[in-house]
Structure 1
């Protein structure tokens, strides 16, 4: 299989993709069509302005058919993770990585972040879902099977055997009914005892099938150059092929029978996964195989990482905050519940007014309140997945839009009364963006004079070292906010 690195939101021409995929123009067009079908590839006009852009906006996306030799469009990957399509393995890394065109170490860390991010859903992504179609997600199933194997071992079924004078549990009914009894002083004695011993059945059909599939998955991932990326050790515990276990219908029948008698949750999930694997019987190198592991909404992953590492207190009860609660506030309320909701005012038939309160309101990304010495600080963070270009000799681009800026000002305004009531003197606003640098970059700030006139703070811009943030996130640790020098 061909294995290539792809940078998210970089503009690729059709000829360049043909070289990456190492195939004919016709096959390249088919691959592009499949990637577009699953929403991980977009087309934009091939202009000089587009070639220099590092972000993609909806207005630039073109809905067009792909034709052989077309040069009027560029293609943009909107996915972070791993895609296998038509015998090609595409390792898609985030858009903020520029210095290394094959960032294996960084992508390994990001894969771990994605696994943790998706862990709370507690499901296996057996299918690639989009609005138009779905396909079996072989890669996700393989990874689950291997990770489950390392955590729980091979599928096991126990077998009860009866021994004579063994070390297991004594079967008194069988011993009394089937042995001679010797009486002495009116007490019964038995020269032989029947005992029960429970052993693992190493020749169990499902156990052998599981080990066979695990070995096959390990070999396929090794051939696809993915074992190292997912930090999985190779497994070679069986040399049996799936065909050795019978026809597909018979294998599915045996798995279903096993499912009917198993009530252990882990075994049930494993059996269902094996059933799906056998039912779809394909391999990563198949021309029709399309699988993916990752996300086309990496901005949400960045938001989660920032929220956890910067100790988001938006859902924390205000009674647990490091402040002396002012009179009139309920300690059970949360910071998010303090934001006012819109009130819709209507008129009755008698022209008197009635009020309907909306359910939704402003929702900041992150609020952090902490004490630095005797000073209480109230910080409003907004995680932005942007590659901003804010340099003196270069054009401004890749920045958040006007809506993002005004909302950030409004967040501060929404908490103005709370801040004043609790005499919090230090309030800051800040955009957080990822960078491949190893240190925090103090990039600058953005402001609007008409809002500054209301006494609101300008919005600081900090680029955070993504790799460091991921390390904190994976270790469930918090960063010292003082390092941001707000």
Structure 2
């Protein structure tokens, strides 16, 4: 059996060539192929090897260097821009989020992150069959295996049923068959049947697709076990079958049977499962294949953090204002089914025609805050505008300010308040709060500071507060669909 090399790396940490070679036990010729494959799928980038880059925890696009991979070249540092798991041949890369700064092997934290990713991805209702696109497109075996296993734990084994006719069974009585084929005793001109034909539906235990599904599930579980990933994904081993896929016939025959089943199957969940089994069989290989690369995770963990914050703090952005509790009744200016996001004005583009008259065109997009909360607190109403920011901010008295949201993010946060100013005034909302929400490895909520632009503060706009939120606590609430009261932030 090939040796599996399974290692943790931190997202956006800078690694030298020697560090990566040592971590993954790479020889010179292996290093080139290893780096080239990861860069082709956008999970690894390189930057100049200088002091500035070594001190940063956030990667800026303009810092990325486009270079050819060369062995024994220390001019560049390598940066993983991914959170999740990557398999590349016999090497397993476990990329953990950048805010986990105080641990080198965050197994428990990574387990939780993967559960968060699974919930986040499940909303998309998509099986990620392939990595990349164009020439870099490849079959994503890991994502397919995880989909099949998660689907099994939620819905069980694929089954087809058959209807069985019994005599005096417990199922539904088949009156037509009983009257036509049965024997009746006539008493007082009324028929009495001593035997009733009944029908029941049972699972076909020897169904081809049920057995194939059990075989593939067992195979998938063994692959994860051999790749040391069962524990990381917190999955129990699955042992349902002693058959091999070859026992079902050659590949073309198995694919033909799956396609035929798909043509007569009308249940959406089963259709998706059959298509995924088809993809697995048609691309059959193992996670340890030398040139195979599979991924489960995301290049955009900032979007996951936004989703977590939106759910945990009960985002009202897409809620109709008629369902929200304001100090005064809605007036004629707004309809009760108008959402908070709809209130923000869209840019108007005004054109001139040949006769010097004007016409208006409304843009499709406008400002969009991450989430809004409405808080009743001691008889007052607070309108709170949040922006979830995935940054490792350094805001310390004796240190340089680093890793903070840019001026565009700050300006947009002020503009959100301006966008809602008339609405806030009309409905007598007492106070407005602005806040950036950032993840931390710590255990408690941290009141980190504020962001202020004095010229905007002079216009009556609120300073932007900064709160560091324990990622572990946020994920626990997200995974259990629980809410945190905004009062806990002490805005």
Q: In 2, distance between residues paired with 1:397 and 1:217? A: 44
1:219-230 equivalences under 5 Å are 219-230=222-233
Deviations 1:433-486 (CA, angstroms, capped at 9, x unpaired): 110111011111111122122121111111111111111112222212122121
Q: Is 273-282 or 144-153 further displaced after alignment? A: 144-153
Q: Among residues 157, 178, 183, which one is paired with 1:154 in the alignment?
A: 157
Report the Cα distance in structure 2 between the residues aligned to 1:193 and 1:424, rounded to whole angstroms: 71
Normalised to the residue count of structure 2, the TM-score between the two structures is 0.92
Matching residue within 377, 380, 384 for 2:382: 377
Name the structure 2 match of 1:121.
124
Is the contact between residue 21 and residue 28 of structure 1 (CA under 8 Å) also seen in structure 2?
no
Provide the residue aligned with 1:422 in structure 2.
427
Aligned equivalents of 1:340, 1:392: Cα separation in 2: 40
Q: TM-score, normalised by structure 1?
A: 0.93
Q: 1:477 aligns with which of 469, 473, 482?
A: 482
Post-superposition shift, 1:200? 3.1
**Is 1:272 paired with 2:261?**
no
Q: Which residue of 2 aligns with 1:76?
A: 79
Secondary structure class of the residue paired with 1:286: coil
Asked if 1:325 is matched to 2:317, the reply is: no
For each residue in 1:395-444, what CA deviation from the matched residue of structure 2 results, as whole angstroms up to 9, or x when unmatched? 11101111111111111122222222333332111111110111011111
SS of match in other structure, 2:442 = coil
Q: Is 2:342 the counterpart of 1:337?
A: yes
Distance 1:261 1:390, change over 3 A: same
Per-residue deviation, residues 2-31 of structure 1 (Å, max 9, x unmatched)? 211111000111221112222312112211
Counterparts of 1:441 and 1:67 in 2: how far apart (Å)? Answer: 44
1:44 counterpart (47, 55, 75): 47
Pairing of 1:217-366 with structure 2 (within 5 A): 217-323=220-326, 324-325=328-329, 327-330=331-334, 331-366=336-371
In 2, Cα distance between equivalents of 1:204 and 1:65: 53
Q: Give distance in 1, aligned partners of 2:309 and 2:440.
A: 13
Residue 463 (structure 1) aligns with = 468
Partner SS, residue 319 of structure 2: coil
- Could you say what the CA RMSD is over the residues aligned between the two structures, in angstroms? 2.3
Q: Deviations over 1:157-192 (max 9, x none)?
A: 33445566666566677777778x687668878887
| Secondary structure at 1:62 match in 2 | coil
Which residue does the alignment assign to 2:208?
205
CA contact (8 A) 2:434 2:464 kept: yes
Contact 1:386 / 1:433 at 8 angstroms: preserved in 2? yes
CA change 1:406–1:165 in 2 (3 A) is closer
- Whether 1:141 and 2:144 are equivalent positions in the alignment is yes
Pick closer, same or farther for the CA change 1:197–1:42 going to 2, 3 Å: same
Task: Give 3-state SS (helix, strand or coil) of 2:302's partner.
Answer: helix
CA 1:64 to 1:196, structure 2 compared with 1: closer, same or farther past 3 Å? same
Mapped partners of 2:219, 2:341: distance in 1? 50
Name whichever of 341-350 and 82-91 sits farther off. 341-350
Which among 405, 411, 421 is matched to residue 400 of structure 1?
Answer: 405
- Equivalents in 2 of 1:195, 1:132: separation in Å? 59
Q: What number of residue pairs does the alignment pair up?
A: 485
Deviations 1:137-169 (A, max 9, x none): 111111121122222222223344556666656
Range that drifts further, 421-430 or 451-460: 421-430
1:339 and 1:175 mapped to 2: Cα distance? 69
Secondary structure of the equivalent of 1:462?
A: strand
TM-superposed CA distance for 1:121, in Å, is: 1.4
| Cα-to-partner distance string for 1:195-229 (whole Å, 9 max, x where unaligned) | 65544332322222211111111111111121122
Structure 2, unaligned runs of 5 or more = none
Distance of 2:284 and 2:37 partners within structure 1: 20
The 2-side partners of 1:366 and 1:178 are apart by 68
Report the Cα distance in structure 2 between the residues aligned to 1:263 and 1:384, rounded to whole angstroms: 43
What are the superposed Cα offsets for residues 212-254 of structure 1, whole Å, 9 maximum, x if unpaired? 1111111111111211222211011212121222211121122
Give the whole-Å Cα distance in 2 for the aligned partners of 1:437 and 1:225.
Answer: 28
Rounded Cα–Cα distance in structure 2 between residues aligned with 1:147 and 1:210 = 13
Q: Alignment partner of 2:376: what SS?
A: strand
Who is 1:431 aligned against?
436
Alpha-carbon distance in 1 for matches of 2:231, 2:433: 42
How far apart are the structure 1 equivalents of 2:359 and 2:180? Answer: 85
Question: 1:317-340: per-residue Cα shift (whole Å, max 9, x none)?
Answer: 222222113644323322222222
Asked whether the 8 Å contact 1:11–1:50 carries over to 2, the reply is: yes
Q: Confirm or deny: 8 A CA contact 2:322 2:330 kept in the other structure.
A: no
Q: 1:149 to 1:19 in 2, by over 3 A?
A: same
**CA distance in structure 2 between the partners assigned to 1:194 and 1:351 by the alignment:** 85
* Cα pair distance change 1:264/1:342, threshold 3 Å: closer
| 1-structure distance, mates of 2:253, 2:390 | 50
